[in-house]
A and B are shown apart, each in its own frame.
Chain A
């Protein structure tokens, strides 16, 4: 199965700062990568699909890039509600797999 490695495990930033999250795949996933946000006590929410497409209703401060094995989620200016855990997930090869997550904390 494809292993997704997210880094860093924890990112400590302040509101208004830029966040850059990384996801590396153990083999190519083409552009079949998604990003999710999970706030404490809540279900995950789709942010980005197919590497760079924002899901419906997702603010423009969230952007995704990359292809092959290296991907990035960027939050251009952190809002208070953005402090959460972020997961990447690939749909290139079954079984579907998730990364271990990056916690963005204040």
Chain B
């Protein structure tokens, strides 16, 4: 079955850290970039981060640059999002999403498979 499954969300205090995981199955994981996209409660979609198919290229939204780090472990077919120095405005559902474009060096930038999302709440 072709799917992405996120985990690791929860309630944490401002300034603390959290690591999200995205487990992939059913497709050639090592051939595709993976993104994180978030959605604050009742709001629209915001792109957060990308890791290319081979892990050589990473990019971040300005709002998370220097605080979040994306990585991948192809032996586990899993992508991680390490989130540090969390703030109240990081509260959102975090989705991982597969890039549509195979072997795109810097990420193709359209999302053809999404996970169900994991909720992150930053609150004291």
Q: Which residues of A contact B (CB under 8 A)?
A: 32, 34, 36, 38, 43-46, 49-50, 55-56, 87, 89, 91, 94-101
Say yes or no: B110 contacts A45, CB within 8 Å.
no
**Best-buried of A38, A55, A94, A100 by chain B (most CB within 10 Å):** A94
- Tell which of B45, B59, B95, B116 touches A98, judged by Cβ atoms closer than 8 Å: B45
Q: Shortest Cβ distance from A17 into chain B, in angstroms?
A: 25
Interface flags, B31-65, vs A, CB<8A=1, else 0: 00001010000001111001000000001011000
CA distance A26 to B116 in the complex (A): 31
Give the complex CA separation of A101 and B109 in angstroms.
Answer: 18
A56 CA to B113 CA, complexed, in Å? 11
Q: Which of A43, A55, A87, A95 contacts B116 (CB 8 A)?
A: A43
Report yes or no: B115 in contact with A49, Cβ–Cβ below 8 A.
no
Shortest Cβ distance from residue B52 to the other chain A in the assembled complex, whole angstroms = 13
Question: Is B47's CB under 8 angstroms from A43's CB?
Answer: no
- Tell whether, in the assembled complex, residue A96 and residue B47 are in contact, meaning their CB atoms are under 8 Å apart: yes
Expressed in whole angstroms, the Cα–Cα distance for A55 and B101 within the complex equals 12
Q: Is the CB of B100 within 8 A of A101?
A: no
Q: Tell me how far the C-beta of A51 lies from the nearest C-beta in chain B, rounded to whole angstroms.
A: 11
Known: A43-B117, A95-B61, A95-B62. A87 touches B45 (CB 8 A): yes
